[in-house]
A and B are shown apart, each in its own frame.
Chain A
Amino acid sequence: MKPGPAITSQPTSAAAGTSIAPSAPIALPAIDVHDLTVAYHRKPVLWDVDVSFAAGRLTAIVGPNGAGKSTLLKAILGLAPPASGHVRILGRPLREVRRRVGYVPQRESVDWDFPVDALGVALMGTYGALGWFRRPGRAERDRAMGALERVGMADFAHRQIGQLSGGQQQRVFLARALAQDAEVYLMDEPFAGVDAATERAIIDVLRDLRTRGRTVVAVHHDLQSVEEYFDEVVLLNMRLVAAGPVAQAYTHANLQRTYGGRLTILDEAAEAVRTTES
């Protein structure tokens, strides 16, 4: 195991009511998002987001459709270029720690007819550490197989991925991230549309990751299970609404503010920018 990261800077200007975990002083931030604004086609989807994700904890990102939850993950991973702001992971810029960050994208993001079996997908998790030109060998295959075992998918290792159920596909994606053996995991709706067995398998894996000191940040859509599954919550609706330990931040008032029905001034501003400039 790699030694813990040296934290070089503390979160800077946390917005009012959003400072992280006053009751959990041990939890140093694994990810530091500073003043992040992201726009797609000139339409801002994230405005001035300032948030930290505690190391060694399970954090849920919660918010309505179009709140920018997936975009926040993608911006952290460098997949969505920010208009302003920056992100530090494990105290460093992304490019220095890329391989220590695992990503579980949404299931819909890939073509499941692709000619590859479950083991092949899990094996892809090991590609980053291999570097260019080197081919995965026995050690990588063993790691991928071990990851499939951990999510209960070893029996399906040689099944073409399109022939798996939705829940099984999700577990294969999780296995791929496990095979990478990262320190920080970013997951986009890992529980979306999965069966009961998969939900249990995933939550077991998440808790196991936490036990081993890993950080997990998951976009989560099921408001009922946030308190049961996660330690921390980030409420997001284009801007940061609230963040902190579930007991403190996951309040009715904050949910109301996150899911409030009317267009906010920000939405209207974004709309005005889009229709005028394009």
Chain B
Amino acid sequence: MNLLSFIDWWTLCIAALCAASCGMIGAFLVIRRLSLLGDAISHSVLPGLGAAFILAGTRSPAAMLAGALAAGVLTAALAAGVRRIGRLPHDAALGVVFTTFFAVGVLMVTWVAKSIDLDPSCVLYGLLELVSLDRVDLLGVSVPRALPWQVGLFAGNLLLIALLFKELRITSFDPHLATALGIHAGAVQAVLLTAVTATTVVSFEAVGSILVVALLVAPGATAQLLTDRLGRMVALSAVLGVCAAVLGYLGAVAMNTNIAGMIAVAAGAQFLFAAVFAPRYGVAARAIRHAGLSLRIAREDVLGVLYRLGEREAESTQPTLQHAQAVRAAGATIVARLACAQLRRRGLVEARGDELTLTPLGFEEARRIVRAHRLWESYLSQNLPLPLDHLHDPSERFEHFMSRELQERVAAEVGTRPDPHGKQIPD
């Protein structure tokens, strides 16, 4: 495939490293519900960069890093301060601070840009396309200037998480408990936000501040849909970041478009995919679970109708129900039709021509459902002052959700009397 010949491996490597660094640290922002703060910091480092440039007069990475770190820390502190003074909700305080910072930053960068090549659009979108052209010699090998920084960032984030995983976990879950145990939640938060700021600053020159935000939040959010363990979530978030970087890069090369933008799109697409297909929390899995529940309810409704029919008729005759009636009893939907078919397949209901009748197995099941229904009616009428015609509907719903254990506890409480409508509660 000739696409391979267009791949610049250095660029891909830097994008992947950056995505992994952002992904692993971003996972903590996501579970702390601080995604917006990541966004805020990544925007508000801009005036820090401008100020550092004006003060130091160079674009040296150290000066940039110092300026950005100062701005990032200032944002977090100011947001907390504005919130207290202005009695604002947290998000509004943050919104006010970071948009102002960002605007000031844009003005500063535009101003200094006249004298030096600090290009505002490069700050926003990054220059991944050019990253491998700017070289330094490292141990005799010519590598992109951004590479040692990205490697250092990756190692730093990895080390931080490895060392402080326990502290990050407990302060994220329950900061009060952490403080009570002597783990200073505020200090841990400050360390995390400093790491986020450093990640933003080191990354934005290569990938731009928009992509940094995407890579901080999207892989973490995707990972949270896919796992129930924090450790796995952090690792998965890093891996998903790398996937997005690779997919986005290939897509951009294939379509000859902006790499950073394409990586952000890939990260968003991953999230969308997970939101639909995640095994437990995805829309599809929920829909399947919901459909399964609807089917069960429809099946149980048909069984209940057949049982009540049998109560009315003489004991010698088997109660029967026309197929169409059964479908109507269960809601007259496709689900109801499916439910009837399932009942026959599972041997709970027998079909003689067009007539449905309960098998012994089905009779047992039906008795359990009617029992749940009448027990609940009895319980409600004994414990809540409800008129008789208010008992059926809640019981009709709850009969499908009443566990055997709860049934026995309710039975012990309501005794063996008939239900409030005078019907016998089956055993």
Contacts and interface: CB of A to CB of B under 8 A. Distances in A.
B276 interface: no
B181 interface: yes
A18 to B, nearest CB: 26
Given A115-B31, A135-B165, A79 B230 contact: no
B173 A121 contact: yes
B103 to A, nearest CB: 31
B88 interface: no
Contact of B180 (A103, A130, A160): A103
Interface in A150-209: 160, 176, 180
Nearest to B182: A98
A66 interface: no
A227 to B, nearest CB: 25
Contacts of B407: none
A14 interface: no
B173 A105 contact: no
A154 B224 CA distance: 25
B177 interface: yes
Interface string A47-90: 00000000000000000000000000010011100000000000
B179 interface: yes
Interface residues of B, number: 27
Interface string A98-133: 110101010001110011110011001001101011
B180 A114 contact: no
Contacts of A260: none
Interface string B366-400: 00000000000000000000000000000000000
Given A101-B180, A116-B229, A110 B173 contact: yes
A127 B183 CA distance: 8
A120 B183 CA distance: 17
Given A103-B177, A127-B170, A117 B182 contact: no
B229 A115 contact: yes
Among A117, A121, A132, find the residue whose CB has the most chain B CB atoms closer than 10 A.
A132
Interface in B31-53: 31, 33
B228 interface: yes
A128 B181 contact: yes
Nearest to A163: B228
A136 interface: yes
B173 A116 contact: yes
Contact of A115 (B33, B164, B182, B233): B233
Contacts of A111: 33, 173
Contacts, number: 79
A189 to B, nearest CB: 14
B139 interface: no
B176 interface: yes
B163 interface: yes
Nearest to B187: A132
A130 B227 contact: no
B57 to A, nearest CB: 40
B189 interface: no
Contact of A124 (B31, B170, B233): B170
Contacts of A103: 176-177, 180
A133 B229 contact: no
Contacts of A78: 179-180
A110 B185 CA distance: 14
A79 to B, nearest CB: 5
Contacts of B229: 115-117, 120
Contact of B173 (A77, A114, A128): A114
A180 B181 CA distance: 9
A79 B224 contact: no
28 contacts: A74-B176, A77-B176, A78-B180, A79-B179, A98-B182, A109-B174, A111-B33, A114-B173, A114-B230, A115-B31, A115-B230, A115-B232, A117-B228, A120-B169, A124-B173, A124-B174, A124-B181, A127-B166, A127-B178, A127-B181, A128-B182, A128-B183, A130-B166, A132-B164, A133-B163, A135-B166, A160-B228, A176-B177
Given A114-B173, A121-B173, A135-B165, 6 more contacts: A77-B179, A95-B182, A111-B173, A117-B229, A124-B173, A134-B166
Interface of B: 31, 33, 163-167, 169-170, 172-174, 176-183, 224, 227-230, 232-233
Interface of A: 74, 77-79, 95, 98-99, 101, 103, 105, 109-111, 114-117, 120-121, 124, 127-128, 130, 132-136, 160, 176, 180
In the A-B complex, the 9 residue pairs with the smallest Cβ-Cβ separation, listed nearest first, are A128-B181, A160-B228, A103-B180, A98-B182, A77-B180, A115-B230, A124-B170, A110-B174, A115-B233
